[in-house]
Copies of this chain bind each other. A is one copy, B any other.
Amino acid sequence: MPPAGVAVTTPVFQRLCLIGAGLIGSSIARRNRERGDLAGEVVVTARSAATLARVRELGFADRVEEDAAEAVKDADGVIFCVPVGAYAGVMRHIAPHLAPGAILSDVGSTKGSVIRDLLPLCPPGVRLVPAHPMAGTEHSGPDAGFPTLFEGRYCIVTPLPNGDPQAVEKVREFWRRCGSAVESMDAATHDKVVAIVSHLPHLIAFTICGTADDLSEETRESVLKFAASGFRDFTRIASSDVAMWRDVFLNNREAVLEMLARFTEDAHAFGRAIRWGQEEFIVDRIQRGRKIRRSLIERKQA
């Protein structure tokens, strides 16, 4: 029930099952604790006993279930909040227990793989509406979540071409109530866009940390000492959840490899211009960076 003073709106779901209670899952549950308009009841399930125990202690779930098959019973909303690589295994386990008419959604950073892994196992009548809230912090686990995580952030919904419009609208409303700006896009476009705005920058950040780590002992010491803003910003990106990012790279393979190929071609061209002293090329690249930066500022994204 919502606390006194909060307007009583019919919740989007009567019973919502969250599979996974990390940063995203626990933030959804906490938001419902605060507002009560996402779901009448929130059931949380997680794989590890430690997470389950911590979720019970933190008290943001109405019910905690060890067995995901038990957790999804009679739920009209089920949201996958685990790394995308775990989806297929979980789905095999829960599919026979999903309620007829239930809406199945998720919060993964890749969308083509989600459709690939979930759709073939969807029982008739269960409606799949993948979604990707573009929100996160450096922290993970059930302690990391907070109810305002999604406020002012985009949430991209990627409806199936023949998806049920009512189910899509329910998921959109769910994320609006989480505070997000909701956008729709097909899964293939989504995967390409996040490959360049998020997955490639993370790949680069992880890589440059490794490159620095491989330098001679003496240089590495100085690198840590003199990490100027450039390198420091890269490492901030690099401090993200291991399992989540492993699964992102493996499950958005084609788009990430395409963007990586484009990027390394461009980096080689930049290097060649440095070697041969091609000032105009270098100046052009620097100016394009500034131009994109200005576009972002105009859109209040920076």
Per DSSP, are chain A's interface residues mostly helix, strand or loop, or mixed? Answer: helix
CB neighbors of B among A251-275 (8 A)? 253, 256-257, 259-264, 266-268, 270-271, 274-275
Does A223 have its Cβ within 8 Å of any Cβ on chain B?
yes
Give complex CA distance A274, B255 in Å.
11
In the assembled complex, the CB of A273 is this many whole angstroms from the nearest CB of chain B, namely 8
Taken together as a complex, chains A and B put the C-alpha atoms of A261 and B290 apart, in Å, by: 25
Interface size on A, residues (CB 8 A): 90
Q: Which residues 210-262 of A sit at the B interface, judged by CB distance below 8 A?
A: 210-215, 218-219, 222-240, 242, 245-246, 249-250, 253, 256-257, 259-262
A207, B263: Cβ atoms closer than 8 Å: yes
Q: Which residues of B contact A256 (CB under 8 A)?
A: 271, 274
A90 interfacial by beta-carbon distance below 8 Å: no
Asked whether A97 is an interface residue with its Cβ less than 8 Å from the other chain, the reply is no
Contact of B239 with A253 in the complex, beta carbons under 8 Å = no
Is the C-beta of A15 less than 8 angstroms from some C-beta in chain B?
A: no
Residues 284-298 (chain A) with a chain B CB within 8 angstroms? 285-296
Q: How many copies make up the complex?
A: 2
- Which of B214, B228, B275 lies in contact with A194, CB distance below 8 A? B228
How many angstroms from the CA of A276 to the CA of B236 in the assembled complex?
Answer: 27
Can you spell out 20 A-B residue pairs with CB atoms less than 8 angstroms apart? A154-B226, A193-B223, A196-B212, A201-B231, A201-B233, A207-B266, A209-B285, A224-B292, A235-B292, A236-B293, A239-B293, A246-B283, A250-B279, A250-B282, A257-B274, A257-B275, A260-B267, A260-B271, A261-B271, A264-B271
Q: Cβ of A204 and Cβ of B196 under 8 Å apart? A: no
Residues of B within 8 A of A205 (CB): 230, 289
Once A249-B282, A283-B246, A299-B225 are accepted as A-B contacts, the answer to whether A238 and B290 lie under 8 Å apart by CB is yes
Q: Are B289 and A210 in contact (CB under 8 A)?
A: yes
Chain A 75-105 interface residues, beta-carbon cutoff 8 Å to B: none
Nearest 4 CB-CB pairings of A with B: A238-B289, A201-B230, A209-B289, A239-B293
